[in-house]
């Protein structure tokens, strides 16, 4: 299936598809099942696939890409360095991801968490800059970084991340962080864009009303809202009908008033994850 997915221009040159597929499938994923999920998504029209060394799904993603029979350049593959590799050999971690994916290059390589207690993220970033210069990482970025972490990377290396992948959904909107990124040329990418399971989006009456107006689901309206904010979004969808539904968001447009209504749903008491919570 061919789906015209919009792209955004990165500060480092290439473009990125604005919606992709998340591939976290549990602490110990079934690789055959994960591969089947990715193959289903590719058949539905996805070309942006997001994985991570810590997810354990890199081999499944690579196998699904090869099984598709499509040219490598049609895909946009994101992966992330394992948190434990902050105190190991950065190049060995990078080489292992390439080997597990079975690819010659990564489209977007991310630092998964800053881990400020370990305090190695600037060293990791310097290694990422080298990988980009060598051509094995076409674009480099970060995940779960706060402004203070981003400022330090930029000040100490002069290289601005292309992406900051963070938790972003109606309940938890890191608006100040997103706007700071925009001002510095960093695109925000949403993980858990449909919520992280603590509270269903269907409990948000304004969101339900907007969905009813357009004949869409609250998930489809949420993804549309993120796209119109200029965010890249990577919902996880294991079932083919959900994968297809997540791509059926290009035939309607939210009004400015509707976008503001969703913006107003942020809950500062939402139990979001913090970079300070993640360490080796």
Residue-level length of the chain: 280
- Three-class SS state of 15: strand
Q: How far apart are CA 193 and CA 21, in angstroms?
A: 11
CB 48 within 8 A of CB 15: no
Q: Which of 146, 133, 151, 175 is nearest to 263 (CA)?
A: 175
Domains of the chain: residue spans and CATH: 16-200+226-238 (3.20.20.100)
Pairing of β 7-9 and β 15-17: antiparallel
Q: Which residues contact 71 (CB under 8 A, 6 or more apart)?
A: none
CB 201 within 8 A of CB 222: yes
Q: Which of 55, 109, 121, 171 is catalytic?
A: 55
Distance from CA of residue 105 to its chain's centroid? 18
pLDDT beneath 50: ranges in the chain:
none
- Three-class SS state of 43: helix
Active site residue 55: yes
Burial class (CB in 10 A: 0-12, 13-18, 19+), 222: buried
Q: What is the DSSP string of 223-257?
A: HHHHHHTT-EE--B--SHHHHHHHT--SS----HH
- Three-class SS state of 148: helix
Partner residues linked to 164 by β-bridges: 142, 188
- What is residue 280's predicted lDDT score, i.e. its pLDDT? 59
- What is residue 276's predicted lDDT score, i.e. its pLDDT? 78
Pairing of β 48-50 and β 76-81: parallel
CB 275 within 8 A of CB 145: yes
Query: Global pTM?
Result: 0.96
E strands along 102-214, which residues? 106-111, 137-143, 163-167, 187-191
| Residue 166: Cβ within 10 Å count | 24
């Amino acid at each position: 299936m061919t789906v015209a997915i919009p792209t955004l221009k990165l500060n480092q040159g290439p473009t990125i598809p604005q919606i992709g597929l998340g591939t976290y499938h549990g602490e110990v994923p079934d690789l055959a099942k994960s591969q089947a999920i990715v193959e289903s998504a590719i058949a539905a029209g996805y070309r942006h696939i997001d994985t991570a060394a810590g997810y354990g799904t890199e081999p499944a993603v690579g196998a699904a890409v090869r099984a598709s029979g499509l040219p490598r350049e049609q895909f946009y593959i994101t992966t992330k360095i394992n948190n434990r590799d902050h105190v190991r050999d950065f190049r060995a971690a990078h080489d292992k991801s390439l080997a597990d994916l079975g690819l010659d290059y990564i489209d977007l390589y991310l630092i998964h968490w800053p881990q400020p207690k370990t305090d190695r993220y600037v060293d990791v970033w310097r290694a990422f800059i080298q990988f980009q210069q060598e051509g094995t990482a076409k674009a480099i970025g970060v995940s779960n970084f706060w402004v203070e972490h981003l400022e330090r990377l930029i000040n100490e290396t002069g290289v601005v991340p292309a992406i900051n992948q963070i938790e972003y959904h109606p309940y938890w909107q890191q608006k100040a962080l997103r706007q700071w990124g925009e001002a510095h040329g960093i695109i925000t990418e949403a993980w858990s864009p449909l919520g992280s399971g603590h509270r269903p989006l269907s409990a948000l009456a304004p969101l339900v009303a907007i969905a009813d107006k357009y004949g869409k689901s609250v998930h489809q309206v949420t993804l549309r809202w993120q796209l119109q904010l200029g965010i890249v979004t990577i919902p996880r969808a294991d079932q083919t009908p959900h994968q297809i539904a997540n791509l059926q968001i290009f035939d309607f447009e939210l009004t400015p008033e509707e976008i503001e209504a969703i913006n107003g749903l942020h809950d500062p008491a939402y139990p979001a994850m913090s970079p300070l919570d993640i360490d080796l």
